[in-house]
Amino acid sequence: MHTAAASATTDAPAGRERNLRWRVVDIVVAAVLGVATGLLFLFWNTVGYAWFSAADALTPGLGGVAVGIWLIGGVLGGLIIRKPGAAIFVELVAAIVSALVGNQWGIETIYSGLAQGLGAELVFALAGYRRFGVVTAVLAGAAAGAAAWVLELFLSGNLQKSGEFLGLYFTTVVVSGAVLAGLLGWLIVRALAATGALNRFAAGQDVTQRV
């Protein structure tokens, strides 16, 4: 029986050969995951944006606390598919769905999805696509938040705003990404794996083998 600490790391077991080539099932599940996340974005475009606006009205830059959910696609893709490009693919598909159905930001949503996916992807790449525990997930969410912040310097004109705003916004976006995308994304994957829905993936096998 493995301890909770052991299950929290979720590294690729020693000796298990890593096949980083995409299978058909990987493509299908990543696409479905992207669409499902895009539908979540449609909900968050209203609820999350209201939270963002209220927090930003209270203190400019504080609105970043609501951004994390918009970053979750890359984390989910990376944790479940565990192949190069998965984080970018899922976050980008989700952004495209959100943009096509209609939201406040139009085509800019797709630019954001690409940047946020790249941020998460970088963390999984630096981990060699071998470490998928809670720490990696939290770092991926935080990196997606940092990438979103950088893009908004130019896309939203934030470069012209005060240093105080930029510092607070960076902090809140990164923390929100770490918690609402990283930690929550990791918990969602664990919950899905426990149901057996991910048995064809290493993400599911890691959990079932530890029970």
Mapped onto helix, strand or coil, the DSSP state of residue 131 is strand
CB 156 within 8 A of CB 109: no
Q: Quick one: which of 2, 6, 10, 4 has its CA closest to 137?
A: 10
Q: Token digits for 204?
A: 């599911």
Kindly state the average pLDDT of the residues 102-121: 92
pLDDT greater than 80 at residue 5:
no
Q: What would the two tokens of residue 98 be?
A: 């959100």
Mean pLDDT of 17-34: 91
Task: Write out pLDDT tens, residues 84-111.
Answer: 999 999 999 999 999 998 877 888 999 9
Cβ-based neighbour number of residue 183 at 10 Å: 17
In terms of C-beta density within 10 A (0-12 exposed, 13-18 middle, 19 or more buried), how is residue 100 classed? exposed
Residue 157 confidence (pLDDT): 83
User: How do residues 134-180 score in pLDDT, each as one tens digit?
Assistant: 999 999 999 999 999 999 998 888 888 999 999 999 999 999 999 99
Question: How confident is the model at residue 19, as a pLDDT?
Answer: 82
| pTM of the predicted structure, to 2 decimals | 0.88
CB 109 within 8 A of CB 103: yes
Question: Domains of the chain (ranges plus CATH)?
Answer: 22-208 (1.10.1760)
SS3 36: helix
